[in-house]
Chains A and B, each alone.
Chain A
Amino acid sequence: MNRTVFLKRILEIIPGGLSWGIIITLVLLSILHPVASAIVIITFDFYWIIRTVYLTTLLILAHHRLAEEKNRDWIRSCLELPADKDFKRMYQLIIFPVYSEGLEVLRPSLTSLSASNYLKENFIVVMAFEERNPASRKIAAILEKEFGSRFGAYLSTFHPDGLLQESRTKGANATWAAKAAKGYIDSKNIAYDHVIVSCFDADTCVDREYFGCLSYHFLTSDKPHQASYQPMPVYNNNIWQAPSFARLIEISSSFCQLIESMRLEKFVTFSSHSMSFKTLVEIDYWPTNMISDDSVIYWKGYLHYNGDYRVIPLYITVSMDVAYSSNILKTMVVQYKQKRRWAWGVENFPFVVEGFIKNKNIPVFKKIRRSFHLLESHVTWAVWAVILAVIGYLPVFFGGAFFNQTAIAYNLPKIAGLLFKSTILTSLIWIFLSWTILPKRPKGVSWLKNIVLVLEWFFVPFIILIIGSFPAIDAQTRLMFARYMEFNPTLKGNRVV
């Protein structure tokens, strides 16, 4: 094993090793020294109460910003910009990597795109199909016929299977499509720095103001090529039809993204996002062998620009499908796999640290801070629910008669109760905010669903256990043992799969 491979393996083991180390240590401590374990748990409980209140406050602030900018006329804002920042010269390259999604998913995405109030003649739309999907050509032909004339340019690409140094990932497909688009852009002599590229999940429906908002931020930001632009993902496409379980998880995901948008120093691209095409070409496109291409592209930019690269939040929504299936069990499996894929973002850690080691221009403090943030977020994801829901009760369980007569054994459940009460309070805020981001109830959906939407929040403790920590532990353990995940796209669609 050479030094590089050895280092990579060490870095792959660190997150899972830490998570398992924390869990095993706390379990052993509960058995061997319940008082010490109780002190650690109470510390964690207290930390979690403060963290929950803090993050909920950030959510309120982010939601306020989202509400504030919701009805803004971004095109008008663009028109008011000085002449040297003329948005009309900006081209929008939009790539939809398609795996096996059918017309029922792709049509709404393209329809929303064609409903945009941006200059459609400046749109270069690329439907990036996988060659290995036998239905690709047929679907491509249908969509080309329906939507081909609505945009400045419309391309269908077919990513060949089994290319060298490629895995079956979305990033490989998107990169193939971006290279094809580059050919078109070159042929039209369009300057790369006048092109903003958006890579959208196949089910992404954009707000009509999205490209106005994106262009405005691009044109007004300092160093626009050294930034990615992150809209707020919501899962409104089929939210009224989705079962409570799946809906809750996706609303929580949207809220997490809103919270992250307030923590700019930690903010990383996620799912559908946009960036400068010039930068994309310079950093050699999305990774073709990593699953978490959406976040790795940010880190590639960060390393390329020696740490002077950021994500600018766009307080405008892009709507996607809630992933669910025909029954609760299958939905749980679908959601679990999706969250495990997201948790596979832990592969960023070895990638980033290796990059930091090679890059001598990024300040050491910045390297340590970003590495710590990355590691801490994944380790916390893997252990928090286990600590709160399982380990928190172990000292009392294993403590025996002597421990259970101590003051700390008596107070431990009280502190946990306080945590629970604070969670209820924050849940009420989350319930209210979730109402405000819901689309209008479609015809045919009973008004009783409104009541279900409130009551379903009582499932949160149960859901936390299922998708709180386990997918992250699963992903980290796989990485620890070099059992690399294959890209497993979430089955989506407005119809139940």
Chain B
Amino acid sequence: MPNFQRIRSLLFYLSLFLFITGLPFIIAFSLGYKFNARTFKFSKTGLIYVKTQPEGARIYLNGKLMPENTPASIYELVSGVYKIVLELPGHYPWKGEVDVEAGRALRLDKIILFPLRPDLQQLNREKFSTFRIDAEKRMIYYLDQEGKVVYRSDLDGINFVDCASLPDKFAQITGWGISADKKKMFIFSLHQIGVVFFDAEADHDYSDAAILLDYPKEKIIDVFWHSDNYHLIVLTNKHVGVIESRPRAVPVNLVSLNNEEAYAFYDAKEDALYFSDGQKGPGGVFYNNLYKLRLNTDLYLLGIIRKKANE
């Protein structure tokens, strides 16, 4: 039977020896020191860490090819300026000069190597004027050049279909927006709003006739969908109002505006309209205020609006 205690003693002293002799080197290495076996001295060095996107680029340091590709650490560099070239086939090379300091780690970890041939792809299959991206549903909506048809495709341009036709007698379209339920869209011109329903089956048989809502005496600046996908929030040069998306709906003006060039943003998550309006100060000077108009359905406001509209 082997003498286990003797083996254990041997192992213990071996471990102790490794610890005592290895520790100075580990600490020195960690602090960036390089041991020179010839002079038996430590000298302080720096290091460069290079990471690229994509990985695997060749690293040239002062013209010399390094053994490792990115991501890689280049240790034991004496202080000074180094020229770095990163090369990856099929990509633009990255070139730069870096200043290495002793005892410090220089991290080049945000380098992107762009491909020589950009990954460019045409998505539209028809001519169009403007488009909207619905990142949540991963859809693209296109308004055709004549303002007659709405197309839809996924984010790669696949499944490109026309999903709605716009009313014939509609003036110059100044803006448009898709409802959150993706079933309809509005278009608007200076004095008219049109609500168009998408073809659910993509069979070119558009489901509902377009709804036209007229604003003959006011100039429409912007329109937004309320989160109920039924009401439209309308900003004109005179009012902030709401209108139902149904034929012969009557607009309800909630706020009268002083400034004809108001600007608005609608937060559909909170159903709140932020808009600016001018106010005349004591000295007769106009200045802008920013207002927040809550339109969430929890409030009784919409109930009042509906009631007023029905009257």
Rounded to whole Å, the gap between the CB of A98 and the closest CB of chain B is: 36
Judged by a CB distance under 8 angstroms, whether A220 is at the interface is: no
| Interface positions of A from 237 to 280, Cβ below 8 Å from B | 262-264
A58 touches B8 (CB 8 A): yes
Q: Which residues of B lie under 8 Å from residue A68 when comparing CB positions?
A: 1
Cβ contact of B104, chosen from A39, A46, A263, A405, cutoff 8 A? A405
In Å, the complex CA distance between A58 and B32 comes to: 35
> How far is A100 from B48 in the complex, measured between Cα atoms in Å?
64
Contact check: which of B15, B27, B32 meets A50 at CB < 8 Å?
B15
Those of B1-32 within 8 Å (CB) of chain A: 1, 4-5, 7-8, 11-12, 15, 18-19, 22-23, 26-27, 29-32
B104 adjacent to A42 (CB under 8 Å): no
Determine whether B103 belongs to the interface, using a CB cutoff of 8 Å to chain A: yes
Q: List B contacts of A409 (CB < 8 A).
A: 105
Place the interface of chain A in its size category: 20 to 34
Known: A43-B23, A65-B4, A262-B8. A408 touches B30 (CB 8 A): yes
Which of A42, A58, A410, A412 has the largest count of B CB atoms less than 10 A from its CB?
Answer: A410
Q: Is B47 interfacial (CB 8 A cutoff)?
A: yes
5 A-B pairs (CB sep. < 8 Å): A51-B15, A58-B8, A61-B8, A405-B104, A408-B31
Nearest A-chain residue to B19, judged by Cβ = A50
A39 contact set on B, CB distance < 8 A:
27, 30-31
Return the CB mask of A400-423 against B: 1 if under 8 Å, else 0.
000001111111100100000000
User: In the complex the two chains form, is B19's CB within 8 Å of A47's CB?
Assistant: yes
| Chain B 290-302: CB-based contact to A (< 8 A → 1; otherwise 0) | 0000000000000
Name the one of A38, A42, A50, A263 contacting B8, with C-beta atoms under 8 angstroms: A263
Residues of A within 8 A of B31 (CB): 39, 407-408
Cα-based distance from A410 to B12 in the complex (angstroms):
31
B46 interface residue (CB < 8 Å to A):
yes
Q: Are B49 and A264 in contact (CB under 8 A)?
A: no
Q: Could you tell me if A407 and B4 are in contact, using CB atoms closer than 8 angstroms? A: no
Contact A407 B19 (CB under 8 A): no
Is A407 within 8 A of B46, CB to CB?
Answer: yes
Given known A42-B30, A46-B22, A47-B19, contact A407–B104 (CB-CB < 8 A): yes
> Closest CB of chain A to B32's CB: distance in Å?
3
Scan B30-49; emit 1 where CB is below 8 A from any A CB, else 0: 11100000000000011101
Q: How far is B75's CA from A407's CA once the two chains are assembled, in angstroms?
A: 10
User: B218 → chain A, closest Cβ, in Å?
Assistant: 56
**Chain A 320-353 interface residues, beta-carbon cutoff 8 Å to B:** none
Q: Which 7 A-B pairs have the closest CB atoms?
A: A407-B32, A410-B105, A411-B30, A54-B15, A408-B30, A407-B105, A50-B15
CB distance from A190 to the nearest CB of B (A): 34
Tally of contact residues, B, Cβ under 8 A = 28
Q: Which residue from chain B places its CB closest to the CB of A68 in the assembled complex?
A: B1
Q: Interface 1/0s, chain B 100-111, versus A by CB < 8 A?
A: 000111110000
Q: Does A57 contact B (CB under 8 A)?
A: yes
Given known contacts A46-B22, A57-B11, A407-B47, is B4 in contact with A262 (CB within 8 Å)? yes
Complex Cα spacing A47 to B26, Å: 11
- Are B4 and A61 in contact, CB atoms less than 8 angstroms apart? yes
Min Cβ gap B18→A in Å is 6
The answer, among B7, B15, B26, B32, for a CB contact under 8 Å with A61, is B7
Residues of A within 8 A of B107 (CB): 405, 410
CB distance from A411 to the nearest CB of B (A): 4
User: In this assembly, does A10 line the interface, its C-beta being within 8 Å of a C-beta of chain B?
Assistant: no
Given the known A-B contacts A43-B23, A54-B15, are A407 and B8 also in contact in the complex, defined by CB atoms under 8 Å? Answer: no
Q: A54-B11, A61-B7 known; 4 other A-B pairs, CB under 8 Å?
A: A408-B103, A410-B47, A410-B49, A411-B105
Contact assessment for A53 and B15 in the assembled complex, using a CB-CB cutoff below 8 Å? yes
Contact with B along A32-74 (1 / 0, CB 8 A): 0000001100110011001101100110010001001000000
Measured CA separation A275–B7 after assembly (Å): 27
Query: Is B15 a contact of A42 with CB atoms below 8 Å?
Result: no
Which B residue's beta carbon lies closest to that of A405?
A: B104
Nearest to A43 among chain B residues (CB) is B23
A54-B12, A58-B11, A411-B30 known; A406+B104 contact, CB < 8 A: yes
A355 CB, nearest partner CB in chain B, Å: 26
Q: How far is the CB of B44 from chain A (nearest CB, A)?
A: 9
Q: How many angstroms between the C-alpha atoms of A43 and B30 in the bound complex?
A: 10
Decide if A42 touches B26 in the complex (CB within 8 Å).
Answer: yes
Contacting residues of chain B (34-86) with chain A, CB-CB under 8 angstroms: 45-47, 49, 73
In the assembled complex, the Cα of A38 lies from the Cα of B45 at a distance in Å of: 18
Whether A38 lies near B19 (C-beta < 8 A) is: no
Closest CB-CB distance, A408 to chain B, in whole Å? 5
In chain A, what residue has the closest Cβ to B44? A407
CB distance from B16 to the nearest CB of A (A): 8
Which residue, A53, A68, A264, A406, has most C-beta atoms of chain B within 10 A? A406
